[in-house]
Structure 1
C-alpha cells in the first residue's frame, strides 16, 4: 500500500506539472517560437547558447527639423525640402523632429500597444484580443515559410488596414481608449506622410505626377502595423525581423528607446540610434520605381535583443491595388506594373524562396 501510495503521489505530481505547463502555454503572451521552429534549430545544429552580438557601427541618420516647413522664410522652407529629397536619394532613410504629432499621442500609442501584446497568445492568435473586427490574419508572428534561421523573424505584429480601425461594437467600452489612440495616430501620421510624399514628388520636377500619390494613396489603401520584438536570450544571430525592403511608397516608424533597427549604407550594416519622440521615414519600393531609381528603397532589419522587448508602430503609405506604377520619366528602368501584381509576386517569392526578391523582377531588360 505504501508503494502504491508513493506511485500515485508521483503520478499526481507529473499530472500537476503537465497542467502547470499547459496553463503557462495558454496564458503566456509570447508566441511559441522555440516549440514551433525546433526543426530549424536542429537542422543547423543550433542549441541554447550565450547570445553574441556582431559589432555594427552606429551612425547618425540625416536629421530634419520639419518646423522649417511652417516658417515664414521661403529659403528655409525650400532648404528643408531639399534636405528631405537629398536624404531620400542618398540614404533612403531619415529622421524627422518637430513633425507636428503631439508627444502624448506617441506615448499613448505605445502604452495601448503594450496592453494589446500583453494579452495571452491564444487570444491574439484568434484576432479578438482587441475586440475589433479585424481582417482575417491580422495577427502575425514568426515566419511560416522559413526554411533556415536566416529567414526566421523573432517578432509578432498586428497588421491593421485603416478600414479596420475602430470597427468595434459600441457596447465594448474597454477598447475605447485603444480605438481613439490608434485613430489619432493613424490620422496624424497619414497627414505627415502625404506632406512628405508631395515634397518628394515635387522635387522630381514633374507637376503632372504630383497628384498621383494623393489620388491613389487614400486612407482605405494604407495600413498600420504594431510590432513587438520579444527578448531572445538563448539563440545567437536570430533576427527580430529579417532583412527586407518595404513594398510601399513611404513608411513612417515610431519606435521605443530600446533600439535594434539597422540598415544598409555603403555596403555595410549600420545601427540607428533612437531619438525620443522622433519619427523614422524610409522610402519604399514603389517610390523607387516611380522615381525611376532617384529615391532609394533600402534593405533594413531588426536585430533581436537578448534581454529587452522592443515595440514600434509603422504606417505604410500604399496605393490602391489597381494603381499602375509608372516611372515619372523615360527611358524607364522598370516596366509598368500594378500594386496588386507587385504584391502577388512578393507573396510567390516568399513562398518559393523564403524571402522577397522585390523590384529586380520588374527591371526593363536591355
Structure 2
C-alpha cells in the first residue's frame, strides 16, 4: 500500500530525545533475562466455524484465551476495504503538522463523542463505522468466552458493556534507531474486558507478548484481527483466562500504525468471579467495579509510576 510522504513536522517537539526515555526499562528487561525474542504463531480462530462447527470453534477460542491470552480471528465480518480506508485516514491525520493536531484537536474518538471539525467528514464516518463493527464483534467474542467457562450456562449473567465506555485508539509508532531497540509501548496488560487490534502493514512488526518468561513476536497479518484478554475478563473468569503482558518495540527505520478497540463495561459494573463453579471461598479476587479499578490504577501510577493492576484486588 502506498503511504503518504513522511514529514518530520508531524512529530512533537523534542521528538529526537523522546526515544531515549525508556532505555533504563529496556536494560531492566535485559537483566531479567526476558530479551530473547522468537516469532510465534498465535492460535487462529476461523469465525466461519461459528456457523459450520460452532462447538469446535467455541472450544478453540476458550483454549486460546486460557493458554495464550491472545489469538487471531479470520472471517470476522469487518470488511478489509473499510480497514484499509481507516488506515489511510489514520496516516493522513498523523501526517498533519504537530501544531495543527494540538490546536485543532484532531485526535481522539470513542462512541458517543465526536472528532474535531477539522477531521474530514469521511474520516469521521469511517472511524464510527469501524468502531461500531468492532464493538459488535468484541461483544460476541466476550460472550462466547464467558459462556465457555466451566459450569457456565445459558442463564449465566454476563458483564454488561456500554458503547460509551469503550474506545477505539489509533496508534503511530515512529522509527527508533537505538542500537538496543526502543519501546513504542512499554510492557503492560490491558485494563478492559477484551481488546481487538488490527495492523494494515504486513512488513512492520513490533507487537510482542510474554510467553513462558520469554518475549515472542507476533507476525502482522492485515487479513486477521488480533484479540487479547483484558484484566477484567481474567478476574471475571477467576484466572481461567489470562491477561498477558505485552509491549510494542519500535522499528529501526519504519514507522508502524495500528488500531486497537477496547471493550469496557459501565463504570458501575461489578466484576466478580461469577461462574457457577466458583464458590466464595474459591474466588481469587474480591469484587470491584470498573470505575474502582480505573481509579486504583490512576492512583498507583501517580504514586509509584507504574500500574499494579489486579494484584490490588487479589485475595489468593
Higher helix share: 1
Work out whether residues 226 and 314 of structure 1, in 8 Å CA contact, stay in contact via their aligned partners in 2.
Answer: yes
Matched, 1:61 2:42: yes
Aligned to 1:32: 13
Matched, 1:317 2:268: no
Task: Pick the aligned partner of 2:90 from 97, 106, 113.
Answer: 113
Matched, 1:70 2:51: yes
TM-score (norm 2): 0.86
- Report how far residue 120 of structure 1 moved: 1.3
- Report how far residue 70 of structure 1 moved: 2.2
- Taking the aligned partners of 1:177 and 1:113, their CA distance within structure 2 comes to 12
Work out whether residues 245 and 285 of structure 1, in 8 Å CA contact, stay in contact via their aligned partners in 2.
Answer: yes
* Ranges in structure 1 where 5+ consecutive residues have no aligned partner: 1-25, 47-53, 131-157
In structure 2, the CA distance between the partners of 1:87 and 1:118, relative to structure 1 (3 Å rule), is: same
TM-score (norm 1): 0.75
In structure 2, the CA distance between the partners of 1:159 and 1:175, relative to structure 1 (3 Å rule), is: closer
- Report how far residue 299 of structure 1 moved: 0.0
- Taking the aligned partners of 1:184 and 1:116, their CA distance within structure 2 comes to 17
Which of these two proteins has the greater Rg computed from alpha carbons?
1
Work out whether residues 36 and 215 of structure 2, in 8 Å CA contact, stay in contact via their aligned partners in 1.
Answer: no
In structure 2, the CA distance between the partners of 1:111 and 1:334, relative to structure 1 (3 Å rule), is: same
- Taking the aligned partners of 2:23 and 2:54, their CA distance within structure 1 comes to 56
* Ranges in structure 2 where 5+ consecutive residues have no aligned partner: 1-6, 28-34
Instruction: Describe how 1:14-53 pairs up with structure 2 within 5 A.
Output: 28-34=9-15, 37=18, 40=21
- Taking the aligned partners of 1:114 and 1:299, their CA distance within structure 2 comes to 27
- Report how far residue 37 of structure 1 moved: 4.8
Matched, 1:340 2:291: yes
Task: Pick the aligned partner of 2:186 from 228, 237, 242.
Answer: 242
Matched, 1:194 2:139: yes
Instruction: Describe how 1:165-204 pairs up with structure 2 within 5 A.
Output: 165=114, 175-204=120-149
In structure 2, the CA distance between the partners of 1:324 and 1:313, relative to structure 1 (3 Å rule), is: same
Aligned to 2:197: 253
Aligned to 1:218: 162
- Report how far residue 124 of structure 1 moved: 2.0
Give 3-state SS (helix, strand or coil) of 1:113's partner: helix
- Report how far residue 209 of structure 1 moved: 6.8
- Report how far residue 338 of structure 1 moved: 1.0
Aligned residues: 294
- Report how far residue 83 of structure 1 moved: 0.3
Aligned to 1:290: 236
Aligned to 1:271: 217
In structure 2, the CA distance between the partners of 1:61 and 1:42, relative to structure 1 (3 Å rule), is: closer
- Taking the aligned partners of 2:231 and 2:130, their CA distance within structure 1 comes to 24
- Taking the aligned partners of 1:69 and 1:261, their CA distance within structure 2 comes to 28
Q: Provide, for residues 201-250 of structure 1, a one-character-per-residue CA deviation record: whole Å limited to 9, x for no partner.
A: 1111323774432xx21211111111000111246332000000000000
Work out whether residues 270 and 287 of structure 2, in 8 Å CA contact, stay in contact via their aligned partners in 1.
Answer: yes
Work out whether residues 201 and 209 of structure 1, in 8 Å CA contact, stay in contact via their aligned partners in 2.
Answer: no
- Report how far residue 107 of structure 1 moved: 0.4
Superposition CA RMSD, Å: 2.5
